[in-house]
Amino acid sequence: MAMYPTDRKYTQNHEWIQVDGGTATVGITEFAQKQLGDMVFVDVPTVGQKVETGEPFGTVESVKVASELFMPVGGKVTERNEELIDEPELLNSEPHEVWVIKVQVSDKEALKGLLSAEQYEKYLKSEAE
C-alpha cells in the first residue's frame, strides 16, 4: 500500500505535482514536512511569474531550517496559496492536501522525468540506507 498518493508525481527534492489538463498543482511531500519540522514562513512567486523546470521557485522556513522549493515543471504561476502566508503550519498538517502554487505548464516534457509514488518511496528507502 503506497503511503504517497498515486494520483501525482514526485521529485527527488520532495515536491509533489498533480497535473489536470494544462494546470499543475505543486506542494511538498510528507517526507519534506517531517524533515523540516514546524513551518513558520512560506515565500512563493507572484501570479504571472514564469518558473523554470528544476529552478528554485520559493522557500519554506521552519523552526529548524530554511529550504528552497524546486519546480518540477516549467510554466507560469496562475495561483498561489495565500493561506500559507498567514498559516504556513498548514503544510505540516496535511502536506498532500495543501498546495503551494498552481502553474500553467509550458514544459510538458519534464513530467516524463518525475517519479511515481512507488518510485518516490523506493527513492526514500535508498536515501535512508
CB within 8 Å of 9: residues ≥ 6 apart: 16, 17, 18, 19, 72, 111, 114, 115, 116
Q: Would you report the helix, strand and coil content of the chain in percent, each value rounded to 5? A: 25, 35, 40
What ranges do the domains of the chain cover?
18-124
Domain 18-124 has CATH 3.30.450.20: no
Which position has the grid cell 489538463?
Answer: 21
User: 0.85 cut: is pTM over it?
Assistant: yes
Q: What is the pLDDT of residues 103-129, one digit of tens each?
A: 999 989 999 999 999 999 999 999 888
pLDDT digits (tens, 9 = 90+) for 56-78: 999 999 999 999 999 999 999 99
